[in-house]
Amino acid sequence: MRDQNMKLIEPTMEYDKQIQAYRQEFLDFGGSMDGCGPLRRCDRTEDWLAQVEALKRPETTPPGMVPSTQYIYIRESDGKMVGVIQIRHYFNDFLEKYGGHIGYSVAPSERRKGYATQMLALVLPKCRKLGIKKLLISCIQGNEGSRKTILKNGGIYESTVYEEAHERYLERYWIDLSEEKGGEEDTGAEAEIDADKVRKSENA
Ligand SMILES: CC(C)(COP(=O)(O)OP(=O)(O)OC[C@H]1O[C@@H](n2cnc3c(N)ncnc32)[C@H](O)[C@@H]1OP(=O)(O)O)[C@@H](O)C(=O)NCCC(=O)NCCS
């Protein structure tokens, strides 16, 4: 399954059906729809895209939120949207303690195929381009899939914190994005990225 070409792109109405199918899969199977903001509540893709667009720039970001960039991960062979990932450009108090820079999820039927690991690898150069030098990702204690995804992308465990509002423990991990660490160069937000290339560079 891992040898298909994938593309990480910003969402548009062109992907309306895929976006709603992704949302529906979570509504049917349950689970946390992380890394896509209010998609769960948006049965009209336009409404979700309007919020995604507003969050791109500080001037249009609603109070209490921080600017962020949204990506969807598309499998080219069948056009299916298999995952989402979001970069928060900087911290507010909540993100600094609990949320971190990144949120992501993979469709329930597409898990354990390496997609989360690939998506995270593909957004690291984009984070670097945004000026993020040290990337914080937090993961609910016991979420083995997310923990491994972070570790496989160079995450270093820092500490575990208790988030009272959700009565849960969160593990905090940092990924060093400083220049000397090298890594893939970003080819642009809209660029189609061959996940194969990323894997090859990971294995190099
Ligand atoms: C966490 C999540 C994104 C993982 O996505 P995924 O595409 O299945 O992850 P990958 O296939 O890249 O797997 C990464 C590693 O974790 C392992 N893994 C994945 N799910 C696992 C699970 N439920 N239990 C144990 N290991 C798991 C994989 O086997 C792989 O390790 P390996 O290479 O040693 O085999 C997905 O389960 C999800 O969307 N969960 C709900 C939302 C969420 O928790 N988001 C993260 C918020 S921080």
Query: Is 192 in contact with 150 (CB distance < 8 Å)?
Result: no
Please state the pTM of the whole predicted model: 0.91
Two tokens, residue 2: 């891992």
Residue 184 confidence (pLDDT): 61
Categorize the per-residue pLDDT at 181 as very low, low, confident or very high, splitting at 50, 70 and 90.
Answer: low
* Structural domains of the chain in order of their starting residue, each with its CATH number: 5-194 (3.40.630.30)
Q: What's the 85 CA to ligand 1 centre distance in angstroms?
A: 13
145 lines ligand 1 (CB under 6 A): yes
What is the DSSP track for 52-117? HHHTTSGGGSPTT---EEEEEEEETTT--EEEEEEEESS--HHIIIIIBSEEEEE-GGGTTSSHHH
pLDDT confidence band for 183 (50 / 70 / 90) = low
User: Can you say whether residue 74 is alpha, beta or left, with left for phi > 0 and alpha for psi between -120 and 50 degrees?
Assistant: beta
> Which residue's alpha carbon is nearest to atom 14 within ligand 1?
149
Q: Has residue 17 got a pLDDT over 80?
A: yes
45 Cβ closer than 6 Å to some ligand 1 atom:
no
With a 6 Å cutoff on the Cβ, whether 148 touches ligand 1 is yes
Total residues belonging to the chain: 204
Residues facing 6 on adjacent strands: 75
89/125 Cα distance (integer angstroms): 13
For position 179, what pLDDT does the model report? 73
pLDDT computed for residue 16 by the predictor: 98
Closest residue (by CA) to atom 43 of ligand 1? 105
Pocket of ligand 1 contains residue 199 by CB under 6 Å: no
Average pLDDT, integer, range 145-168 = 98
pLDDT at 203 over 70: no
Higher model confidence: residue 200 or residue 82?
82
CA nearest neighbour of 68 among 32, 117, 105, 103? 103
**In a 3-state reduction of DSSP, which class is residue 184?**
coil
**pLDDT at position 186 over 90:** no
- What would the mean pLDDT of 178-191 be, rounded to a whole number? 59
